[in-house]
Amino acid sequence: MKIVRTDCELELPGVDRRLREMGATLVLLPETTGADALARELSDAHLLLMCYAQIPAAAIDGAARLRGIVKYGVGIDAIDIEAAMRKRIPVVNVPEYAEETVAEGAIALMLALARKFKPIEREMDIHGWAWPTQRWLGADLSGKTLGLVGVGRIGASVARMAGQGFRMRVVGFDPYVDAEAMARRGVAKRDDLHAMLAESDVVSVHSVLSPGTRHMLGERELACMKRSALLVNVSRGAIVDEQALVAALTHGRIGGAALDVYSREPLAKAGHPLAPLYAMDNVILWPHLTFYTAEAMQRLEDETLERAREMLDGRPVLVKSRDPRLRAQRAGVRFAD
């Protein structure tokens, strides 16, 4: 039994140990593995575990023994789902392991932006103290309007924390969630994205990445935001037109941004389109780690192993996600209601 796990930079010691104890030959590949090398390893593999690596149709088509693909994480945009469906290879993700964790991360980034943590910490590192001058004047979250782009599991958790915890007024744009469901989550539904952006003091992105959401927040949308507004993205980098964001920040069209995700990862201080953001005091760059806590990683490892065992045993794999791309599968899956 051969199992391939890509993105081995993300350590899963419990998963790796248990799979080897089950007698599997485990092949660990870095995220930078090329398409040809990936295809060669998958050609005789029984199971693929992946996180960020691109899984193209060619690699899936050549995988003669593959029983399933487990995304140990949430987003599935890197997998050619249609190619997997053509070969009746089930695909599953782990959508619930870090809902509260990532929501907490989004709130932490909002606070860090509003209270100017980055420049104040730098001042403390250089001079040892910062006096209460206008340069360091922060802003309250309480009483402000939070606009959610996407009100799914994580967006709903952010709404609860922001509304109940910080007494923020929460509004949301999500074509797939009706007004009644949003109201139960403490969110006032907005049908016009541009109007919602215009009324928000903080905009937090929680959509899945799909062809319809790629660059959903572009130059026009950023121009709708208040000049003082803050943008937080802990979802997927490509939902935001990143070059439009760099321009908006460079010219002071929005108040600041906190990013945990990027179209091109890893980020780098040189040779990367987003490199200019490192020098901006009103920008916080986080290395795609809002999900990374001991508790969340234990949940991720446990469920990854559960889904892997189902596939290796030939049982229908449990799909918990509501993503229509996964719900369209008909072979080797069962759905959680």
Selecting among 288, 299, 309, 325, the annotated active-site residue is 288
Candidate list 5, 236, 242, 310, residue with the active-site label: 236
Please list the alpha-helical segments (H only) found in the chain: 13-21, 35-42, 57-61, 81-86, 99-114, 117-127, 153-160, 166, 179-184, 193-199, 219-224, 242-250, 294-313, 324-327
- In percent, how much of the chain has pLDDT > 90? 98
Q: Say if residue 13's pLDDT is above 90.
A: yes
Lowest mean pLDDT among 113-117, 141-145, 206-210, 289-293: 206-210
Q: Once rounded to an integer, what is the mean pLDDT over residues 114-120?
A: 98
Using CA atoms, how far residue 223 sits from 159, 251, 268, in Å, is: 24, 11, 27
Dmax (CA) for the chain in angstroms is 66
Helix (H, G, I), strand (E, B) or coil at 335: strand
Alpha carbon separation from 257 to 214, 243, 244, 285, 328 (Å, rounded): 18, 13, 13, 8, 36
Residues 6 or more apart whose Cβ sits within 8 Å of residue 279: none
pLDDT for 55: 97
pLDDT of residue 321: 95
Is 288 considered catalytic here?
yes
Backbone angles phi, psi at 157, to 5 degrees: -65, -40
pLDDT, tens digit, for every residue of 243-281?
A: 999 999 999 999 999 999 999 999 999 999 999 999 999
pLDDT tens profile 285-308: 999 999 999 999 999 999 999 999
Which pTM does this prediction carry?
0.92
Please write the tens of the pLDDT for every residue from 43-53: 999 999 999 99
Question: Which letter does DSSP use for residue 164 in this model?
Answer: I
From the candidates 9, 11, 265, 295, which is the catalytic residue? Answer: 265
Confidence of residue 31 (pLDDT cuts 50, 70, 90): confident
Q: What percent of the chain has pLDDT above 70?
A: 100
In the annotation, is 206 catalytic? no
Task: Establish whether 115 is a catalytic residue.
Answer: no
pLDDT over 90 (residue 337): no
Res. 229: pLDDT tops 90:
yes
Number of H helices, E strands in the chain: 14, 14
| C-beta atoms surrounding 28 within 10 Å | 15
Tell me the domains of the chain and their CATH numbers.
2-97+294-335 (3.40.50.720), 99-285 (3.40.50.720)
Residue 147, classed as helix, strand or coil, is strand
Query: According to the model, what pLDDT value does residue 3 have?
Result: 98
Paired with 55 in beta bridges are: 79
